[in-house]
Amino acid sequence: MSLVLCSTGAMIGTPNGRDHTIMKSALPSLRCDGYEFMMYDTWYEKADTVIDFITKNNFNIPIMHFDKKIGELVSRYEDGDLEKALELFKINCNIANKIGVHVAVFHLWGGLDSDKCFSHNMDAYALFNKIAKEHSILLLIENIVCNNESPMARWMQLYERYPDISFIFDTKMAQFHGEMELLYDNRYRDIVKRIKHFHVNDYAGGCKEWSKFKTLHIGKGNIDFRRFFEFIKSIGYNGTFTVEGTSFDQTGRVDTVSLNNDFEYIRNNI
């Protein structure tokens, strides 16, 4: 049975001080099946506090989104960056183990450097995946923004080198790069078989229109979600979905109504 999850990052951000306790205060109003826990780079110093809070409240967290900074370090690739990235990755794996998570969303590249020297990122994947396996974690590589090639092109390179690799497909990221149609293209059927999780987010701009990069709720952009879910059903996918639409305003107030509308839409279409 498919699970519809809420990203903690959809609710917790700078305007509300990245307050992890929102996970508890918002939950009674949310009609999701659990959380995808987002690790922030500002939380390492209080990681024990966050872990203790999660375990005491017994949240259902099947998936953890590892710190995005790790991929940025790999992409920058200055002296000591890879070592720091591996150190942070191990900490993320340990946090996942402590909160009972065995699936991780991971940005293998990122930041302004993005995929400019992708051979470094490809080499690093083997190191990250080895550590993940040692912690009994399935590592999912996301189709995030590329500044040189495109996410699908980078996925193809990774798949050719690591045929057992697993992916997480983000609808917004695909639409941003004009690649939603590739999900339905038979030429990429082997890639689609490696997708183990979906982020279901909308996007209102054109190809690489940075001014409209904001992560939107379903129906607020131009993605054809009817076709998307018809395809999902046609391939027999019954795994997890996460909603990430930005759901806090400048005061930090959480918009649970929009989140619940997304959860309901997904359930009605899977």
Rounded Cα–Cα distance for residues 92 and 193 (Å): 27
Per-residue pLDDT of the chain (270 residues; tens, 9 = 90+): 799 999 999 999 999 999 999 999 999 999 999 999 999 999 999 999 999 999 999 999 999 999 999 999 999 999 999 999 999 999 999 999 999 999 999 999 999 999 999 999 999 999 999 999 999 999 999 999 999 999 999 999 999 999 999 999 999 999 999 999 999 999 999 999 999 999 999 999 999 999 999 999 999 999 999 999 999 999 999 999 999 999 998 898 999 999 999 999 999 999
Position 143 scores a pLDDT of: 98
Cα–Cα distance between 133 and 123 in angstroms, integer? 16
3-state secondary structure of 106: strand
Q: Please state the domain extents for the chain.
A: 3-269
Domain 3-269 grouped into CATH 3.20.20.150: yes
Q: Counting runs of H as helices and runs of E as strands, what totals does the chain give?
A: 10, 8
pLDDT confidence of residue 172: 98
Torsion, Cα of 18, 8, 45, 135 (10° steps): -170
- Contact call for residues 8 and 59 (beta carbons, < 8 A): no
Tokens of 133: 């396996």
pLDDT value of position 256: 97
pLDDT at 1 (0 to 100): 75
Own/partner long-range contacts of 17-26 (Cβ < 8 Å, ≥24 apart):
17/252, 18/42, 18/43, 19/252, 20/49, 20/50, 20/53, 21/53, 22/254, 23/53, 23/54, 23/57, 23/59, 24/53, 24/57, 26/254, 26/256
The pLDDT, as a whole number, for residue 258 is 97
Q: What is the reported pTM?
A: 0.96
What's residue 81's pLDDT?
97
Q: How far apart are CA 148 and CA 76, in angstroms?
A: 14
Pairwise CA distance, residues 86 & 124, whole Å: 9
